[in-house]
Amino acid sequence: MLAESRLRQHHGPMFRHDLLSLRLFVTMCETKSLSRAAEQMNIAVSAASRRVKLLEEEAGADLVLRRPHGVEPTAAGVTMLRYGRTVLRLAEQFAANMAEHRTGIRGRVKVFGSSSALVQRLASDLARFTKAHPEIKLDLEERPTVETVEAVQRRQADIGVIVRGAATQGLITYPYAEDRLAVAVPADHPLASREGVRFETLFDEDLVSLDAGTAIHRLVTDRARDAGRYLKLRVQVRSFEVMCQMIRHGLGVGILPEDALRPLADALGLRLVRLDEPWASRALEICVSAEDPLEPPAARLMAELLGGGAKSGTESRVDDFEKMEI
């Protein structure tokens, strides 16, 4: 006890909090609500409040401010938030590594990717990688670009594959692939006989759209706003498949990546019409944290993703990733 007391005097508070308290604090900051964080973690609000108070006592500073719109971290709270995310990530990595020692897996990589990226190239690249490296486990989640960027920024994903255009502060991005948008219409639609169509032609059409958080939705609504128009959004759905079913039943037309649309259009009898706009050709990118180096399994995956048809300018970076061994 005497040694601990002396250490306190010279090095500040001795942190003795547990992972549950850290996870509660991080969740509270992300949801901006103590009650929602407590609900998500299945603990009483009163117990959650005590845990936050203990964290503040250990830190020797207020960590959150109570605002009308919810709680937000103080300057000290932002430091605690970064620390908490780092500790939780290391704890999850440790648990995963211990489990892998028991099962014989030598590494784990968490990848987030947009639907467009998965259809265009990512799914086939990951399948090839797992066949070549069965000792490395891949955790793949399909997420919109904005959520993918946030996951990599928060260290919840090692690698993200996104549509270029999202804000990527704190990340490094690399060219990966390209896709092109097309318009899906029912076979008996007046536009079905055309080879191509300008975006302005669609302003008076009912539109079947993906959710607002997707890169495609943001792109088409921004381009409509630039033209001083609003799209006639009739239905918003969560997947390419449901979107094509709605189009098939005459609820509107839809804009989707051509490679994603092709097999669905063939199966459902839809017609694909080229979207004749410069912005209809989109670039896909891989993003990783600019602060934390990749673990060897993730570095190996990056080397193969960038090496498989990588564009000019990425070759030296591929070499850097390939030098990292498990």
Say what the pLDDT of residue 324 is.
46
Tokens 């399994």 map to which residue? 297
Say what the pLDDT of residue 69 is.
85
- Mean residue pLDDT across the chain: 84
Say what the pLDDT of residue 308 is.
55
Say what the pLDDT of residue 252 is.
92
Cα dihedral sign, 322-156-164-166: negative
Residues of the chain with pLDDT under 50: 1-14, 104, 309-318, 323-326
Widest pairwise Cα distance in the chain: 85
Which phi-psi region, left, alpha or beta, contains residue 104 (left: φ > 0; alpha: ψ -120 to 50)?
left
DSSP secondary structure string for all residues of 299-326? HHHHHHHHHSSPPTT-HHHHHHHHT---
Burial class (CB in 10 A: 0-12, 13-18, 19+), 173: middle
How far apart CA 234 and CA 306 sit, in angstroms, is 39
